[in-house]
Amino acid sequence: MQVHANPSIAVQNVSKTYVSDRTIFNPKGNHLTAIRNATFVAHPGDSIGLVGRNGSGKSTLLRILAGIELPSEGSVLVLSLIHI
């Protein structure tokens, strides 16, 4: 296995919290934390597996990595390696 200094993906302390609609009876809304403090690094050639129960945040993390959603906290670096 080759060791690369620059990662393809770097996730540091990523959290994602959703807030439901506020109502007159619940002015703060309900908070749902989908991801809490996720941290990992992947280098070229590495494989990552996401395992968890339904509702554990797997799809949310993938949407953040794809740039479809932004994390509530933390930082994400994804280097695109497209070969045509």
Q: For 26-71, what is each residue's pLDDT tens digit?
A: 777 788 899 999 999 999 889 999 999 999 999 999 999 999 999 9
Rg, the chain, Cα only = 16
How wide is the angle at C-alpha 9 spanned by C-alphas 58 and 63, nearest 5°?
Answer: 35
- How far is 48 from 56, CA to CA, in rounded Å? 16
- How far is 59 from 16, CA to CA, in rounded Å? 12
- 69: helix, coil or strand? coil
pTM as predicted: 0.79
Confidence at 12, pLDDT banded by 50, 70, 90: very high
